[in-house]
Amino acid sequence: MKFGNSFLYQLKPEWKESYIHYIDLKLYLKNKVPFGDEEEEDFKNKIQKDLQMVRDFTENKYNELNNIVISCEKKIEELSQSEDTDYSEINEQLSVATNDILELDKYIRLNSLGFSKILKKHDKLTNYKIKMNYIEELKGFPFNINFNDLIIKLSKLFAITNVDPFKNAKNNNNTGTEHFVRSTSKYWVHKNNITAVKCSILKHLPVNIYNSKTGRFDPGITSIYFDNSDFDLYVGRLKLLKGAEAFRIRWYGAVDSSDTVYMERKINQGAKISESSHKERFPLEEKYVNDYLSGKYNFEEKIKYYRENGLRTEKQLEELERFSTEYQDAVIKKNLKPVLRTFYNRIAFQFPDHARIRISLDTDLCMIREDNFGRPRSKDNWRREDVKTDFPFAYLPEEDITRFPFGILEIKLQTQYGVKAPQWIEDLINSHLVEQIPKFSKFVHGVSVLNKDRVPLLPYWLPQLDVLEMKEKDMRLNENNENLKKKKNSEASNQTHQNHVLNVSATPRKKSIEYCEPQLNHFANEK
């Protein structure tokens, strides 16, 4: 199906006057022969007029959605001061707002594609080349909007109006260095489906604001991964060898000499999809990292300070001493050096008082070389000093960076209860919105792409990058054809079209995921 027809079948009928006038612009290009300076100026004016129209429409709709959220916040506050705890009407308004976000997201993406297509057609049919002049405009508002502010607000309100099924379940708190073993499932999410995935989760889990230092949503996460010149750690992680280790240094937001970073080790528990990695970590001030990695700094004084001031339990101090020593010894004995940096923006969903289910969605994922192969990068430092946290890192040479084209959805579940996930998770993982990629690793992917001539093996998922892109195109094409059939056979097709974004595919893939939900009798006993 040609884009012009596809465009007409995808637009929302109620908003049809607010889309780019793609068909009119296409006819203008074909009918204005010869196409001279006057026609060119007229065409550019039409483009600018449509761009401004889309900006204004998006801004107005976004403000309307924000006003709905504010109204719901006030209603919830009023209800909290009364004996009425019926949130059904508010829940309905929140659901409508969530669906409107999906519609607005689709509107933005369709217009973005429309502008790109018509500019490409212009450059092909005329002697004027202008598409490159609009690249920055098509990267700016509203085409770069991610709706995170609204999604965070909506998720908080849903958390109030919905009942947490694990509210009365006991929680297992970690002590000492942070230990947590979870079963993990990973999925790729096409950029067209990022907002739809967020909206399918926010109704059930609140967004986790994990930057406790600022108390605000700060999604940027950076990690430096270590390996030796033979890439032994890479091979162990790629082969899913039991006990294979990954050493990294992680921080949140920007980092400077006064900030804290986290020294982390992940140990693979096995090759089965349901088996997760065991992770440990401890904090370290950034200014001590180089000395710690070289063996010049240890935790004796810090442990002594903690003990004398009663800041840690004896068990926590023993764990800190053990793990900090193991980490340091491994780096020195295995001759580990920085080889890869990963950066991404993360939105995580989790109930604040337990981690029985935790879902994260990483976008804007970039992998950057930190090694000194061929030329110095990190040099003798633990990280490159010429790279900040300024996505998309346009200043880096192409051989030093790979930008991952999809989002990464990760579902972490406790498995002690051994029962299935709730239906909304089953619906999500069996829909066209996600593609399961078992044991996907950012570290392995980045090394395999940026140092493919130096590593002995490549991960199985590399060819699937093109496959997922083709599947998404086929899905959209089939969707448009189905809409055309329905439009011919039913006057009610508009409603079907508006709701298609979250439809489960006609032939769902067989997937299952275990969930740590307590048995019903556990709830009964605790009540």
For 448-497, what is each residue's pLDDT tens digit?
999 999 999 999 999 888 888 887 777 666 665 555 555 455 444 443 33
Both tokens of residue 202?
Answer: 């926010």
pLDDT of residue 182: 59
The mean predicted confidence, pLDDT, of the chain is 85
Average pLDDT over residues 496-503: 32
Average pLDDT over residues 155-174: 68
Burial class (CB within 10 angstroms; exposed 0-12, middle 13-18, buried 19+) of 238: buried
Instruction: Encode pLDDT of 8-33 as tens digits.
Output: 989 999 999 999 999 999 999 999 88
pLDDT of residue 75: 92
Q: Residue 422, Cα to own-chain centre: how many angstroms?
A: 22
Cα 84 to Cα 309: distance, rounded to the nearest angstrom: 49
pLDDT of residue 415: 52
Contact partners, residue 80, CB within 8 Å, separation at least 6: none
Cα 54 to Cα 11: distance, rounded to the nearest angstrom: 13
Band (167; pLDDT cuts 50, 70, 90): low
Comparison of pLDDT for 281 and 467, the residue scoring more: 281
Comparison of pLDDT for 432 and 274, the residue scoring more: 432
- Peptide bond preceding 376 in cis form (omega within 30 of 0): no
pLDDT of residue 194: 96
Q: What is the 3-state secondary structure (H, E, C) of 400-469?
A: HEEECCCEEEEEEECCCCCEECCHHHHHHHCCCCCEECCCCCHHHHHHHHHCCCCCCCCCCCCCHHHHHH
- pLDDT of residue 217 exceeding 70, the answer is no
Comparison of pLDDT for 278 and 97, the residue scoring more: 97
- The conformational region for residue 58 under phi > 0 = left, psi -120 to 50 = alpha, else beta, is alpha
Cα 378 to Cα 253: distance, rounded to the nearest angstrom: 20
Comparison of pLDDT for 34 and 501, the residue scoring more: 34
In Å, what is the CA distance from 368 to each residue of 156, 236, 262, 404? 35, 21, 19, 11
Active site residues: 442
Band (82; pLDDT cuts 50, 70, 90): confident
pLDDT of residue 500: 32
Both tokens of residue 414?
Answer: 């406790």
Rg value, the chain, Cα: 26
Instruction: Encode pLDDT of 39-71 as tens digits.
Output: 999 999 999 999 999 999 999 999 999 999 999
Strand ranges in 219-286 using DSSP code E only, listed in sequence order: 220-227, 245-252, 260-268, 277-285
User: Using an 8 Å Cβ cutoff, are 222 and 432 in contact?
Assistant: no
User: Using an 8 Å Cβ cutoff, are 384 and 370 in contact?
Assistant: yes
pLDDT of residue 25: 96
- Residue type for 254, please? A
- pLDDT of residue 444 exceeding 90, the answer is yes
- pLDDT of residue 247 exceeding 50, the answer is yes
DSSP structure class, residue 207: B
Both tokens of residue 461?
Answer: 């998922």
Band (253; pLDDT cuts 50, 70, 90): confident
Give the HSE-up count for residue 58: Cα atoms under 13 Å, Cβ half-sphere.
26
Contact partners, residue 181, CB within 8 Å, separation at least 6: 269, 276, 278
Cα 330 to Cα 327: distance, rounded to the nearest angstrom: 5
Q: How many CB atoms are closer than 10 A to CB 166?
A: 19
pLDDT of residue 179: 46
